[in-house]
Amino acid sequence: MENPHSAVARKIASALEEGLPLSPEPFACVAGALGIDQDSAVSVTESLLHSGSLRRFGAFWDFSPFYSAYLFGAKVAPEKLGHVSDWINGLDSVTHSYLRDHELNLWFTAIFKGNESALMLAKITEKFRAKDIPFAALGTVRRIKLRPSFAGHQHDGGDGVASDVAGLEFAPVPGHENKFPQSLNETQKKIIALLQKDMKPQRRLFESLAACAGMSEQECIRNLAELRSLGFLRRIGASVNHNAAGYTANSLMAFDVSGIPEGEATLCAAKAVSGHPWASHCYLRNVVASSLGYPWRHCMFVMIHARSGTELAEREGIIVSSLSGPASGEIISMMTLREYKKTSFIFDVESIDTDLQSRA
């Protein structure tokens, strides 16, 4: 089995984070760049999955225009954590859940269909109120960065590799430039349904998918390319297990940018996180419900990853220095103490046309 920390394995994992080409033998491109054969590239990918260095391999989608994403922070007494976290993690809509070092110690994300958003939000918030658990629920205003990059930067010196700010995902929610169609054909919906599951790494990656969908390999690839051009398909690739990659110290930072316009806050945040692969997520959010008894003003969130507490503090300092002007008030840093849940959201393919038409 290939050493998951070898140079070849790291490069393959990095390529999978970026995404494979939509071609009959997509591993050929990766193998050619590394000077190895395709079978070796496939074998290394299988080994990385088996070892846990890769969390999953398959399709990564973007259905944000007709799903609402929320971040919740709750103050849960230690004796209630087990029961409350079990209830939260049992909800299909909850994709990520963490224990963090802060007064609001339980943080989780949930994704709801647009027409169910108000009902599901009320269900969770009413449960918290009934249990007398202080909470804040925040909706997504703008996604500034969603680009985890662990494999290719396990040994970078700290500041990361500079990148063009314009290359980040300045995606409002919902998007101002909605290129999504009002309907999908049955073939496209069948492909999306099949690709809700993980894929098996192999030379002809789309051959079995095409057979299951009842079409030729080329027709399958053409449909995937169309889904990508429409904005549904982000990439075919893998997500790296950041803990296995050595990033065992992680924190969610929150900033108060309420004193400046959204556009200015977005640009400042983009400049602050763009050159740092260890700053994986950056969002602007707004409070939609709260029982804290005081205003929650920290609505810009940045996720930081590091290999040690010392390195984490250094990297947090870099972001704080970059945002010291626009951010006001206390800056909150919440170190991750435990990961309760991390999973992909399963989309209801049959309702896609209805959802698309409701957004048109």
Which tokens go with 319?
Answer: 């972001």
Cα 8 from Cα 36, distance rounded (Å):
9
219-237 b/e with 16+ CB inside 10 Å = b?
A: ebbebbebbbeebbbebbb
Task: Give the Cα separation of 204 and 208 in Å (integer).
Answer: 8
In the chain, the domains with their CATH numbers are 59-360 (3.30.70.3460)
Q: What pLDDT shows up at residue 350?
A: 66
Return the H-helix or E-strand segment holding 226. Answer: helix 217-230
Name, in order, each residue with C-beta under 8 angstroms of 120's C-beta and a sequence gap of 6 or more: 93, 110, 112
- List the chain pLDDT tens, one digit each, 360 residues: 455 558 899 899 989 988 999 999 999 989 998 899 999 999 999 999 999 999 899 999 887 766 889 999 999 999 999 999 999 999 989 999 999 999 999 999 999 876 788 899 999 999 999 999 999 999 999 989 877 666 654 433 333 323 333 333 434 333 334 455 656 788 888 999 899 889 999 999 999 999 999 999 999 999 999 999 988 898 999 988 888 778 899 999 999 998 889 999 899 899 999 889 899 999 999 999 999 999 999 999 999 999 999 999 999 999 999 887 778 778 999 999 999 999 887 776 666 655 555 554
Phi, psi of 246 (to 5 degrees): 100, -5
For residues 57 and 201, the answer to whether their CB atoms sit within 8 Å is yes
Asked whether 174 and 69 are in contact (CB, 8 A), the reply is no
The DSSP line for 119-183 is HHHHHHHHHHHHTT--EEEEEEEEEEEE----GGGTT--SS-----GGGS--EESS-SS----S-
The closest alpha carbon to 254, from 62, 122, 100, belongs to 100
